[in-house]
Chain A
């Protein structure tokens, strides 16, 4: 047995491991015999990637496209989430009572509504109005082919753009509340002496925040912020209910037409996990690199 970080298995550990193993075998048995499910794994790959018959090139199919949409959605949603979250976090630490109240109201409101309800409210009540006012779809449609392609690549094709943007804003608004709390904690984590020193030098509050407090706050909260990005990826599944073709939505569509329930959901689970785990590893590396500095 190795010393130091060696693996030591006690009798209890062995029992627990065996019990877990037994439960797994039982579950597999139930699915295999009890449900008598007919596995058709061979049908899955073609939903990930398919060969385009006209050009003979390989193209991502429904599930992989769904994954890409999830990634695009998460990255875009991180922007409004960070902006709203930073603003609300600042308001919550503001000296002015109305500002603190505003920040507090936003955070409490968002955190105490089910995200699913938030999606519906935002999608049906707000985004319709906003999108209609912006007239975005029409503008994109009448723009050049290059612009259209760029939008399709970075966000969504013109016919789905307004839905995509609603999804991004909803997700941003939702995650912003959690980021606000992280930012607030970050600002609080900066030593009082830093406020006093910058104050004593005659800085305006804006100057203090911009040059002294926020740079330190953000370097303190980089790991939890990156962790929140993983939450955005996971939470992005909720916008599937308003027909944004991200991974979960594609899975539901596919299931409805193929009935490959287990195969599809297991595949989707693995896809989400790999994406989330990859980000998680990146966060860990970031953390250890920051500790070294």
Chain B
């Protein structure tokens, strides 16, 4: 994946600090820039602030300090701004969070109609195309509870992709899955990366990071420890802390 043509800056987080009410400093002067088409994998021990960082990018968490710019728009506290930025940022959760009272098709249609103001017919066309691509077309009228974890997560990815976001965030998308279902979800993510989707991926799947990632960011205690191209990150990490971490998980 090296030598990929990189475009405009899509995500620019600058000097983010986030302290939880409990007093824990989850993000400590953290900065990161992601360009269009890039796949950035965020790794680090649990409690490093990886998920918190992703959640700050679409305003699910408020930052205490620092600025976030998504596709040229500064994230602020106004409702309209947040809603607009959230439509440009797709998010995939560890727990899928599909809407259990709606079928797979309705799950994917809903935001297109409600937020993107598409007609129901147009939305369904997009939905069916996506379902076809991820191999779930036959599950369009099934309810989430009738699907396996892997199928649910694929549908959840489709739901976010259907909004045609500028960037997709994956918050440990495979951590809640049984091992045999991890592969099918990673396949879908690989497909997205191949299509040029800008992606920020928090994961423990180092194989995926190596194969699909352009850059790897290593975080610890809310700080950036190392940020570099995939190949050198795994073979020749600069920081001692990164070396220790890699030796523990590889």
Contact = CB atoms under 8 A, between A and B. Distances in A.
Given A207-B114, A211-B110, A199 B97 contact: no
A282 B219 CA distance: 57
B93 A196 contact: yes
B101 A200 contact: no
Given A200-B60, A200-B91, A201-B163, A194 B111 contact: no
A196 B83 contact: no
A69 B64 CA distance: 60
Contacts of B89: 200
Given A196-B60, A202-B115, A203-B115, A215 B83 contact: no
Contact of A201 (B79, B101, B159): B159
Interface in A190-226: 191, 193-194, 196-204, 207, 211-212, 215-216, 219
A94 to B, nearest CB: 14
Contact of B114 (A194, A203, A215): A203
Contacts of A216: 99-101
B101 A202 contact: no
Contact of B86 (A191, A199, A211, A212): A199
A204 B83 contact: yes
A197 B86 contact: no
Interface residues of B, number: 25
Interface in B68-99: 79, 83-84, 86-87, 89-91, 93, 95, 97-99
Contacts of A202: 83-84, 86-87, 111, 115, 163
B90 to A, nearest CB: 8
A215 B110 CA distance: 14
Interface size class of A (residues with CB under 8 A): 10 to 19
Given A201-B159, A201-B163, A202-B83, A196 B114 contact: no
A208 B174 CA distance: 26
Contact of B99 (A199, A200, A204, A212): A212
Contacts of B87: 201-202
Contacts of A191: 97
Given A194-B99, A196-B60, A211-B110, A201 B93 contact: no
Contacts of B160: 200-201
A274 B86 CA distance: 54
A215 B143 CA distance: 15
A83 B233 CA distance: 59
B58 interface: yes
A193 B101 CA distance: 14
Nearest to B58: A200
Contacts of A196: 60, 93, 97
Find the residue from B84, B93, B111, B160 having the highest chain A CB count within 10 A.
B111
Closest A-B pairs by Cβ, 5 of them: A197-B97, A202-B87, A193-B97, A201-B111, A200-B91
Given A200-B90, A201-B160, 9 more contacts: A191-B97, A197-B93, A197-B97, A200-B91, A201-B87, A203-B111, A203-B115, A204-B79, A216-B99
Interface of B: 58, 60, 79, 83-84, 86-87, 89-91, 93, 95, 97-101, 110-111, 114-115, 156, 159-160, 163
27 contacts: A191-B97, A194-B97, A196-B60, A196-B93, A197-B93, A197-B97, A197-B98, A197-B99, A199-B86, A200-B58, A200-B86, A200-B91, A201-B110, A201-B159, A201-B160, A201-B163, A202-B87, A202-B115, A202-B163, A203-B83, A203-B115, A207-B114, A211-B99, A212-B99, A215-B101, A216-B99, A219-B101
Interface of A: 191, 193-194, 196-204, 207, 211-212, 215-216, 219
